[in-house]
Amino acid sequence: MDLRQKLLEVSRGFRIDYEYLGYETIQMGNVNHTYKVNFLLPDGNPKSFLIQNVNTYAFRNPVGLMENIDKVTEHIRAKKPDQLTLHFHHTPDRKTYIADGDNFWRMTNYVPSVTFNSVSDLNVVRSAGEAFGEFQMDLADFDSGELMETIPAFHNTRKRYENLLEAIARDRAGRAASVQEEIGYLLSVQELACTLTDLQERGELPLRVTHNDTKINNVLFHPGDCSAMIVIDLDTVMPGLMGHDFGDAIRFAANYVEEDCPEYEKAGVNLEVFRAFAEGFLSKTAAAMTKKEVDTLALSCFVLTAELATRFLADYLDGDLYFKVKSPEHNLIRTRCQIALAKDMQKKLPQMEKIVFDCVSAAKK
């Protein structure tokens, strides 16, 4: 069946009976597939929905994942009934998904909004920082034991290094010989990159409920004034560290270039963007943070960047099984861009730490 027809069938499965106009593929996310499906209401107005095909290679228990999202959005709705949260449509037997073979479909309302892959407007960055900080604080009283790990050991950097070493040994796609320099760099920074994981395992950093995938394009902004409306992509909401959310957000938003830019020499942390995000995030979280969390927050940016580089490189070595790729070298380009960013972060760590301390002091005044 062609995709147009398949998406119609899925929509009907979620009890959307309007006249079908067709679909558009949304370029969003490196793991799941997202489509905007368009309908005509009886009054002649258009109405759209989003359908996602969840990647079950990445998410092995998609039913558990949907239960996680339900619990988390319920928790936020109970606290803030007026806040926009994700709503999933139901099948006649009250399921929020349709599983057929390897496909796992879900459907939400389409929220007219703007998103950003790179941002220079510091107010937008600050607002994203507030949104992610607030998201974490909204879940501060949520029992993390209620959540299954949708991807086990997702931000366990030691495990990510083990995966990389296994991928090197397998050399499934015959690419290992050509990436010795990248492997060499990543192994040379392994101990520093594993700092958060080690501190967590020693009980020196508190486990919280975190988003874990805080790319700025996972915030939808108001089309008019560009204020943050809603945090989306809740697939990886799981127990995690505050630094995972802060670090991943900076890795993405504060890079001078997009994460897969082939002009590696241009990659680096824009400290103005760093400061704006830190101001927003810490204005919400500083009061709840431990000293160790504050002390390791700037380092978390390096950690998340190096960790993602190990993931991109492992996937490149495996022959691109996990991340969607636009060319055979896409995962290698991503790896190199993350490595260039990580190196710049190592250099700028003292400046980043100072900004964090300043923002924490300001937030506590």
Which residues of the chain form contacts with ligand GN1 (CB under 6 A)? 29-31, 58, 213, 215, 233, 235-236, 259, 308
Binding partner of residue 30 among Mg ion, ligand GN1, none, CB cut-off 5 to 8 Å per kind: ligand GN1
Which of 39/105 has CB closer to Mg ion? 105
Cα–Cα distance for residue pair 123/116, rounded to 1 Å: 13
Q: Which C-beta is closer to Mg ion: that of 34 or that of 91? A: 34
| 182 is an interface residue for Mg ion by CB under 5 A | no
**Exactly one of 182, 213, 245, 320 binds Mg ion (CB under 5 A); which one?**
213
The CB-of-55 to Mg ion minimum distance in angstroms stands at 10
Closest approach, Cβ 142 to Mg ion, in A, equals 20
Site for Mg ion contains 233 (CB under 5 A): yes
CB of 59 to ligand GN1, least distance (A): 7
Query: Is the Cβ of residue 283 or residue 331 nearer to ligand GN1 in the bound state?
Result: 331
Radius of gyration of the chain (CA): 21
Give whichever of 244 and 279 is closer to ligand GN1, judged by the CB atom: 244
Dist CA 203 CA 190 (whole Å): 20
Q: What angle do CA 307, 312, 318 make, to 5 degrees?
A: 125
To ligand GN1, the closest distance from the beta carbon of 92 in angstroms equals: 30
Of 89 and 155, the one with the shorter C-beta distance to ligand GN1 is 155
Distance (Å) of CA 3 to CA 30, 95, 101, 165: 19, 22, 15, 38
Reference 56, options 35, 39, 31, 30; nearest CA is: 31
CA dist., res. 172 & res. 297, Å (int): 36
Residue type, 136: Q
CA distance 51 to 353: 41
Task: Report which of 25, 303, 13 is spatially closest to residue 161, judged by C-alpha positions.
Answer: 303
182 binds, among Mg ion, ligand GN1, none (CB under 5 to 8 A by kind): none
Binding region for Mg ion (CB under 5 A): 213, 233
